[in-house]
A and B are shown apart, each in its own frame.
Chain A
Amino acid sequence: MENKIIFGRAEAISVLIIIMTTQLFISFPRLMAESGGNAGWLLTIYVTLLSLFFFMIISKLYKPFEGKDILDIGEYVAGNTGRILVGVIILITYVFIISIVLREFSDGLKILAFEKSPVSFIMIFFLIGMILAAYYGLEPLTRYSAIIVPIIAAAFLFIIIGVVPNFDTNNIIPILGKGPSELFLKGATKISVYSGLSILFLIPPFLGNYNNFKKTGYYSIILSSIFLTGGSLVYSLAIPYPATTEFVLPIYTLARFIDLGRFFKRIESVFLLAWATSAYIYLSIVLFFIVYVYKKAFKLKYHSPLIMPFSILIFTFALLPESMMAALELESNIFRVFAWIVTFCMPLFLLTIASIIKKKKRVKK
């Protein structure tokens, strides 16, 4: 029944934008500042170009496999083993990242508005939304994100406009930041910021034809890069460099600066609505795909009974890191360093083998 759902390109793009830009609200601009100095935004652009290049190759290879997701390709390459292997790899990645993001968002919210609440209380709030949304399925989620993404974008734009008085163009000078070698060689692993793109390799069955797939990929990368570059650019414009590596929640710190006369000060809490919404969508979509991948990898009939067990699992994993620092450390040192292997290398590898097999088959015929 799920396979009958087909959603439009606008919905798919907005889902991918949410998946790829939610990190902006946690630690993305700081991470960029840490590795790129005051030229974090340059690093973002560089990484965008890299990921566009990779996606170009992948989408070329994808052409013969219209409407198949990465699991199907795994099956094509190595039968059931292949499908299950690919599924398990994706599952592990997703469970890992969703737990960390859940923990980071909850801890972030705890820092910025709910100092006295236990972190599990905030997590439960997120979990309720996630579970309900996952029960409703993918279709409402995509529609909801299509409505919400422009609103979040508007809120983000509002933050940028509000921070304009704090801008100092001298903050992004020296233009090359930590230097070309630091930026372009070491920075290449930061391509993991686009790890959310892996969702795209799971939705071809919902997307219909190949053309849609290709366009969705390009548009979502470019639009997210606008957000991400904008975010890190604004961050390094408003705060001088060494201080940019200090703040836990960069965009929140920016929102604190908004000062529109005596009456509108410290309105950062309003943006909590936008951040929490994007977190809700992010977490729900990833939870849905965890369940979906599990179902598809093991050829189960229904996915909904898996939602509760997986959310309890995620809840437990999210509580495992002893501190927020540990969670942030896990994200920046493990996930953001190795995620590109799952997102870009795995599809490349599988698709190359699959095309070779396909060619061989054709030759045989």
Chain B
Amino acid sequence: MKPRQQRMWFVAIIFSGIALATVLVLLSLGENMMYFYSPSQISKGEVPRDAVIRVGGLVVNDSVVHDDKNLGVRFKLTDTANTITVYYHGILPDLFREGQGIVAIGEIDAAGQMKANEVLAKHDENYMPPEVADALKTAAEGGSMPIPDSHTHK
């Protein structure tokens, strides 16, 4: 090939690569994006049904109930303004504890409860997932804010 042709060849291959990538990204990005919601948004019904979402908040103290027979677990998740119920089947991560900030991934059912497919707790105990920190901040600025363990004053 002459230098000019060679350059065109270069450009052609690069552009087909870019085109391929664009198609792949457009096809996959939309359907694999998960939006983050706070418990308050879920309580207000802002979340579309059947969408896989991420929810973050603090696990309410003394709210975790294990079902020993089928490894089910239920707990309450709060952003201090509102609280939702999450249920999950399987082993919770090591760092899952009451009072701890966690993120759950799953769907909201007809009763407004969350069916989690995955529960994430971060690997540093002093670490708060930034989304959770934000949700807490927003809820706090919203005015009403009972403390996380208000259910459990003994």
| Chains A and B form a bound pair | no
